[in-house]
Amino acid sequence: MNTTHASDRKRTIIYVAIFLLVAIIGLAYVKWLPYVDKSITAITTQSIGDSILGDPADAGTFSWESTWSYTVTYFLAVWKAAVLGIVLGSLVQVLIPSDWLLRTLGKTSFGSTAIGGLTSLPGMMCTCCAAPVAAGLRKKNVSIGAALAFWLGNPVLNPAVLIFMTFVLSWEFTLLRAVFGIVLVFGISYLANRFAPQPAPEELARKVEEAETALAPEEGSFLSRWLKSMGRLALFIIPAYFISVLLIAAVRPWLFPLLDSASGNTLLMILLFAIGGMLFVIPTAAEIPIIQTFMSAGLGTGPAAALLITLPAISLPSLILVSGAFPRKVLWFVAGAVILLGVLCGLVGMWVL
């Protein structure tokens, strides 16, 4: 029996080491190293590039050419991270021990939510690229709050984006993003547990015990199980991702209203930009040049501050990608909370920036 336990423990350690190795190499290549160069660019030029939305004056004008152009530009910016997200989301399901995840992230306590949010910080992924990992965590019975905190924490509390923002926009914008981001990632995620059935302590203990006694290798080789898990993820994610991004690109001209000097900093504009930002999809850090461009075209600090939260946090495509992992009530709650926090952030921005 002791020999069996030792063998199971050794296999678990190897599996976790493989997952960490893939995550570290993938994130270093896709995120960490490129962000070093981008940080230097932000510090020296006070810019990280042009707005992916193009000229704000084009708002309200639809064309298939611009729709397709945005879709192509978007996927060229995110495809590496999207592939990494699918790989890590599938590896979570076949490599990380269920009992360990249940012990650390399976509870509806604030502690599990906090761990989920803190483990998201090295990821630095956009909301869509983090979606497969969040879905993978949910398949391993991770709690609503912990999985949401991981999903939201990736884009909202991205350390690199906070650095870019400080030098391109201002430290005041960064402070607003950090404060409201912390409320969203840790507070809203924790409250979201209330919108799902609460497992009794004895039920959680039973799940942990079942996971501990199910450490024997599953049927089939690791490679076959991983490919099957990745195939299931990709089969849903890739078509849904492409179609939803194409759809949001098509309605892009009407998501962000035309600007003029009289309407650039009102409560109505804050609300409209909060809703548009919640629905719209962007690559990592794209909110910075978008805000910079809008403000140069006359947008007030209020709507700009609303976009700080709503643009990166979630989007219609990302909500679709995690729709099978979270109860519908939870996703409606998160979408409403993102808009509300965006409006509150916008009001603070209008008054103090």
The answer on pLDDT for 1 being more than 50 is no
Tens of pLDDT, residues 111-146: 999 999 999 999 999 999 999 999 999 999 899 999
- Report if pTM > 0.75: yes
The answer on pLDDT for 207 being more than 60 is no
C-beta separation of 171 from 308 below 8 A: no
Give the pLDDT confidence score for residue 246 in this predicted structure: 95
Return the top range by mean pLDDT from 36-50, 211-225, 332-346: 332-346
Distance from the Cα of residue 131 to its chain's centroid: 6
From the list 301, 337, 340, the residue with the least C-alpha distance to 319 is 337
The answer on pLDDT for 200 being more than 60 is no
What tokens were used for 300? 């007030």
The answer on pLDDT for 350 being more than 90 is yes
**Average pLDDT for 34-45:** 93
Give the pLDDT confidence score for residue 274 in this predicted structure: 96
Tens of pLDDT, residues 281-306: 999 999 999 999 999 888 899 999 99
Give the pLDDT confidence score for residue 195 in this predicted structure: 86
pLDDT-based confidence at residue 69 (cuts at 50, 70, 90): very high
Give the pLDDT confidence score for residue 215 in this predicted structure: 46
Tens of pLDDT, residues 88-98: 999 999 999 88
The answer on pLDDT for 258 being more than 90 is no
Give the pLDDT confidence score for residue 98 in this predicted structure: 86
- Lowest mean pLDDT, pick from 175-184, 205-214, 281-290, 296-305: 205-214
The answer on pLDDT for 316 being more than 50 is yes
Give the pLDDT confidence score for residue 216 in this predicted structure: 45
C-beta separation of 245 from 75 below 8 A: yes
**Average pLDDT for 229-250:** 91
pLDDT-based confidence at residue 226 (cuts at 50, 70, 90): confident
The answer on pLDDT for 260 being more than 70 is no
Tens of pLDDT, residues 70-91: 999 999 999 999 999 999 999 9
Give the pLDDT confidence score for residue 159 in this predicted structure: 97
